[in-house]
């Protein structure tokens, strides 16, 4: 294998696939990037940790047919390769791998050598069989990931909640994430499927897909326990989480009729500031609701500190005091797009629902946040 490419193009591709390279693995070859020539004459870079895989195509100029001279495919040590390419300026680079998988990279400034591995020993990436495909806009998929991923659970004892739940239907779809403390349900009119599909995608895979997604169409394929996101020159493959997702509708209260409308930015900033004075153990803040204002307060008894702020709002129900985790509330407000948000409350010990006052066209987003118990009520 011998080709010439721009270091800038290589660095861009290596940045994409490098995110899936395991830092330590019981299989040393997984710490490499597989280089091979595809049927269209592009360089194909592949990486897998056996759960998640990334494939990236790079335009290069091959100087042989890729089959008769040198190695047809070679596994290149990822860290040294990435560090080398990152340290070079934007210039042409010649890459060559011989039959012994000795790699030489040459520029007009220098020569760099390392030893790779036989690409034939690299694990084969899964081939999805019996797949169902959905075509959607890459920006829409990126938006769905950004609005839900923050609420995914990190608790390995609840594996189903360690991913984002997709429910694709003919007229619209739902994308859901929850960790038991927060829940996000995003309904999208423009993400549809000819047949009903539901599956759970690991959070890490979606994080990679979000970075790769661009302003182009994405082909989403589901089958054989895997999902793939194909963006043309880049493809993410991941093993689905084979668990039953919890019945999230059962935890969404339907009797929350105490409505509070406030400026999202003002409320978010107040929660951030006051949250700095909350207990490091609980991160608890209080929201005291009264006529057209909400007082946000926190105290840290161990450090003898406290803070409170008042934010103007629209509220004309009975006075109420409710507690939340400051970090969770910050993330909920931070992931809303609207200028104003509407909270729907019931009692201090029931979940609060948060929605934007004006939904974006073609979507309906609802976020739920569980309260924390305050010592002022039983």
Kindly state whether residue 103 falls inside one of the protein's structural domains: yes
Among the candidates 73, 92, 121, a domain finishes at 121
**301 lies in the same domain as 345:** yes
Among the candidates 72, 87, 121, a domain finishes at 121
Task: Report the length, in residues, of the chain.
Answer: 378
**260 lies in the same domain as 230:** no
Could you tell me the residue range of the domain that residue 345 belongs to?
252-369
**Pick the residue with more confidence: 268 or 211?**
268
pTM of the model: 0.90
Residues 213-262: pLDDT tens digits? 877 899 999 998 999 999 988 999 999 999 999 999 999 998 899 999 99
User: In the prediction, which pLDDT does 101 show?
Assistant: 94
Kindly state whether residue 73 falls inside one of the protein's structural domains: yes
**303 lies in the same domain as 328:** yes
> Which CATH number belongs to the domain containing residue 275 in this structure?
3.10.150.10
Q: In whole numbers, what is the pLDDT of the chain averaged over residues?
A: 93
**244 lies in the same domain as 257:** no
**220 lies in the same domain as 150:** yes
Pick from 43, 42, 41: which is nearest to 33 by CA? 43
**225 lies in the same domain as 322:** no
Kindly state whether residue 66 falls inside one of the protein's structural domains: yes
- Region at 164 (left for phi over 0; alpha for psi -120 to 50; beta for the rest): beta
Q: Is 307 exposed, middle or buried (0-12, 13-18, 19+ CB in 10 A)?
A: middle
User: In the prediction, which pLDDT does 378 show?
Assistant: 38
Among the candidates 185, 215, 249, a domain finishes at 249
**196 lies in the same domain as 91:** no
Domain count, the chain: 3
Q: What residues pair up with 285 in beta bridges, in sequence order?
A: 324
CA distance 125 to 102: 24
Kindly state whether residue 377 falls inside one of the protein's structural domains: no
**101 lies in the same domain as 171:** no
Compute the average pLDDT of residues 176-203: 96
Kindly state whether residue 126 falls inside one of the protein's structural domains: no
Dihedral of CA atoms 377, 277, 273, 339 in degrees, nearest 10, equals -20
HSE-up (13 A, CA, CB side) for residue 2: 10
Per DSSP, 358 falls in state S
CA distances (Å), origin 299, targets 282, 304, 324: 11, 8, 13
CB proximity list for 376: less than 8 A, separation 6 or greater: 321
Kindly state whether residue 374 falls inside one of the protein's structural domains: no
**112 lies in the same domain as 26:** yes
Predicted confidence band at 66 (pLDDT cuts at 50, 70, 90)? very low
User: In the prediction, which pLDDT does 128 show?
Assistant: 82
Per DSSP, 120 falls in state G
**Pick the residue with more confidence: 25 or 15?**
15
Query: Strands across the sheet with 117-118, in order?
Result: 117-118, 73-77, 32-37, 43-48, 52-58, 234-239, 226-230, 217-223, 132-137
Kindly state whether residue 127 falls inside one of the protein's structural domains: no
Kindly state whether residue 376 falls inside one of the protein's structural domains: no
DSSP string for residues in 57-105: EE--EESS-SSSSS-SEEEEEHHHHHHHHHHS-S-EEEEEE-TT-EEEE
User: Which of 7-16, 66-75, 297-306 has the least mean pLDDT?
Assistant: 66-75
């Amino acid at each position: 294998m011998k080709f010439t490419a721009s270091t800038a193009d290589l660095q861009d591709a290596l940045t994409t696939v490098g995110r899936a390279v395991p830092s330590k693995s019981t299989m040393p070859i997984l710490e490499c990037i597989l280089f091979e020539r595809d049927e269209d004459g592009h360089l194909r870079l592949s990486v897998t940790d056996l759960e998640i895989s990334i494939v990236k195509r790079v335009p290069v100029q091959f100087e042989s047919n890729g089959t008769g001279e040198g190695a047809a495919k070679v596994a290149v040590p990822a860290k040294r390769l990435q560090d080398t390419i990152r340290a070079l300026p934007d210039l042409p680079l010649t890459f060559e791998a011989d039959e012994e998988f000795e790699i030489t990279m040459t520029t007009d400034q220098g020569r760099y050598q390392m030893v790779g591995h036989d690409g034939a020993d690299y694990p084969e990436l899964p081939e999805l069989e019996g797949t169902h495909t959905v075509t959607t806009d890459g920006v829409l998929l990126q938006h769905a990931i950004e609005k839900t991923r923050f609420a995914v659970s990190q608790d390995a004892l609840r594996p189903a909640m360690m991913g984002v739940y997709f429910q694709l239907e003919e007229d619209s779809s739902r994308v859901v994430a929850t960790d038991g403390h927060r829940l996000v349900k995003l309904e999208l009119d423009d993400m549809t499927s000819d047949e009903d599909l539901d599956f759970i995608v690991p959070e890490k895979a979606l994080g990679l897909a979000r970075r790769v997604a661009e302003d182009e169409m994405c082909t989403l394929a589901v089958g054989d326990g895997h999902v793939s996101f194909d963006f043309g020159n880049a493809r993410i493959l991941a093993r689905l989480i084979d668990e039953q997702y919890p019945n999230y509708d059962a935890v969404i209260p339907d009797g929350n009729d105490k409505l509070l409308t406030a400026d999202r930015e003002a409320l978010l900033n107040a929660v951030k500031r006051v949250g700095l004075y909350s207990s490091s153990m609980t991160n608890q803040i209080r929201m005291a609701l009264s006529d057209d204002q909400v007082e946000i307060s926190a105290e840290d008894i161990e450090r003898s500190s406290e803070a409170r702020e008042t934010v103007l709002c629209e509220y004309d129900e009975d006075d109420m005091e409710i507690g939340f985790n400051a970090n969770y509330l910050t993330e909920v407000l931070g992931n809303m797009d609207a200028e104003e948000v509407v909270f729907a409350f019931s009692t201090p010990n029931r979940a609060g629902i948060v929605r934007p006052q004006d939904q974006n066209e073609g979507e309906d987003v609802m976020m739920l946040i569980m309260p924390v118990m305050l010592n002022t009520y039983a």
